[in-house]
A and B are shown apart, each in its own frame.
Chain A
């Protein structure tokens, strides 16, 4: 394996950090995190559903209701309005699944966000692409949808030469690509930063030259800060992905006037 070496610090090959051995046939750590995300999400809602709804919510029920309220009030009502409330289960599932796939990046021992691999973000973006295009076709008809996307009203006809190719690329290629890459790249970058600072701290704490040992406190402090920051990023990326999904579905549902 190739290793990047800088003085005594050795950085392992990137594939060693991202590619995991299968623990079962075709099932590796990333797949297991995906399973765990779905199971935890279902577990919370199952526990919530089994509690008496007439009592004041607490524990799992409170958590589930807070998440539903957050999705409805902070995402759907802000981007789609009341007509978008039917999308709550879909957007809720996206948010929970992505968040629970992101968070293991800062959980000790696991320390790997499932979304730092392209598989899950690519599928999620592709699914959102299919959903918003299908919604557009359902609400406006195939001709009406493609017309409203490719020939936005209010634009001088001469500009369609420029606007139509831009809209075509933007709506059908860039949107899913940017959705997937934004999530994947942010989580991958965060994961690599944590690895770099963890290895740097370790290298300095174990340095032969004793004068370097106290210096290890600096990268360790940055590591702690970045760990806290990654908790925020895990939430933020799930929020951004879900919000953009809501925006795309809403734009596809309503023809521009």
Chain B
């Protein structure tokens, strides 16, 4: 195969590479993006608000899934990084009148830096030990925010009101900003999968010694993955703040971190748009659907969770059965 053959791919192949997966799933994703783009024309403000939060949570789900996929590790403390992103947006908005266009890059930078700072001392930890150490972050967040009330607004929190673009209705901005950032994160992760760095990180996850022998240090890989994951989680927090319009410590408790992990699990750690939205929907839309169920909410939520996990678990076998039957019929 020559360089030219590779450099000039067909548009169909390009689309496939951009969206990830095979061409059918690529087209499905493209269709989904189109639907999500025009949806505000057909649904009311409360739905737009909920979907904006759902998109933001989907970004958080991607953050945890990135850690699992590229690092082979689980976090129950990503609410910490989300809080950093959320308060970056809220503090700059409230105290300095700066819009999310300015605060979003800062949130990303601080998220990446926090991920790296956390990963450096814990780079030798793995499995349950790393998971528990991330939990320490999640436990500390609400208290840290409350104690810095001069900056963070303490228990009452802060209100995010600055528009990204003046003159456009805020409800539209909150919806589309979260959607755009979600698509950008999915796209960036699809690019990472194709890149030199992505390939070496995946080898390092499976065989650290082999990756080391080809120039990728295990410690470096672990720190980098946590940095990327922390950055994405900070984007999640930033969009939660912007799309939800308020930022308070109650949004970043240990439970918030645990639910990000739950979203990642029900999405089967997928890094595609569809999978991320499934995870995000579990954090946002399912509780909303069940809100009329009163005391049965936790039970129904648990059943839904179990149903999705079992369905995902048996889906490959179901597909195989269907394929076998089709083969038998022909």
Is A bound to B?
A: no
